Amino acid sequence: MKRLAVYCGSSFGASDAYKDGAIQLGKELAKRNITLVYGGSSNGLMGAVADTVLQEGGKVIGVIPKVLVDREISHTGLTELFTVDTMHERKAKMADLSDGFVVLPGGTGTLEEYFEVFTWGQVGLHQKPCGLLNIQHYYDPLLSLFDHMFEQKFLQDKFRSMILVAEKPDALIDQFDHYAAPPVKSWAKQKQGDGSHASEA
């Protein structure tokens, strides 16, 4: 792991534990000489993890779309900052630059970023680990939803194994170091009675 993308909130949330977790992650990245790739903001958890990596002597790459430069207040002290035209370009650039993806607490934008790279992994567009830093059990409801998806046969066991989770940054990054991507998602036509149906292979 040379570079990790981090997705998280541009606010601090309701608990000080979220900021503490972002700071712990920043320290762990710098300790392991892993470059942080993130959304380029100076606000909230995004700013906290970036500031910590920089304070600890690490490197930080930001990627921010023009429309959010003023709204999110782009960080001016980064190792490198890319300004792109669209949100799509932002996500693609971050993915290209990174060897894996860490998700801290955040809102709908954070979840959207996580699900996109997770889905890309399912269909084989990358073989990179995606992990949830489950600070103060923030992502427990999402993990319950994943269980429900599995029980209702919308999530195969091999893709369930892609859901890496830990409460501490060091434990999550250790999982990344041993991650093996599952076989690519595919569909096969199987005859059943007089018709056929699509099933995941």
Per-residue pLDDT at 102: 98
Which has the closest alpha carbon to 166: 38, 2, 25? 25
Per-residue pLDDT at 188: 52
Tens of each residue's pLDDT in the chain, 201 residues: 999 999 999 999 999 999 999 999 999 999 999 999 999 999 999 999 999 999 999 999 999 999 888 776 889 999 999 999 999 999 999 999 999 999 999 999 999 999 999 999 999 999 999 999 999 999 999 999 999 999 999 999 999 999 999 999 999 999 999 999 998 866 655 444 444 334 343
Are 94 and 68 in contact, with CB atoms under 8 Å apart? no
Per-residue pLDDT at 163: 97
Q: How far apart are CA 158 and CA 4, in angstroms?
A: 23
Six-digit token string for 113:
């970023």
Q: How far apart are CA 134 and CA 181, in angstroms?
A: 21
pTM for the whole structure: 0.90
Per-residue pLDDT at 185: 67
Per-residue pLDDT at 190: 44
Q: Which domains does the chain have, with CATH numbers?
A: 3-200 (3.40.50.450)
Helix/strand/coil percent split, the chain, to 5:
40, 20, 35
Q: How far is CA 7 from the centre of its chain?
A: 5
Cα–Cα distances in Å, from 77 out to 59, 69, 73, 121?
11, 14, 12, 32
Which has the closest alpha carbon to 82: 137, 119, 38? 38
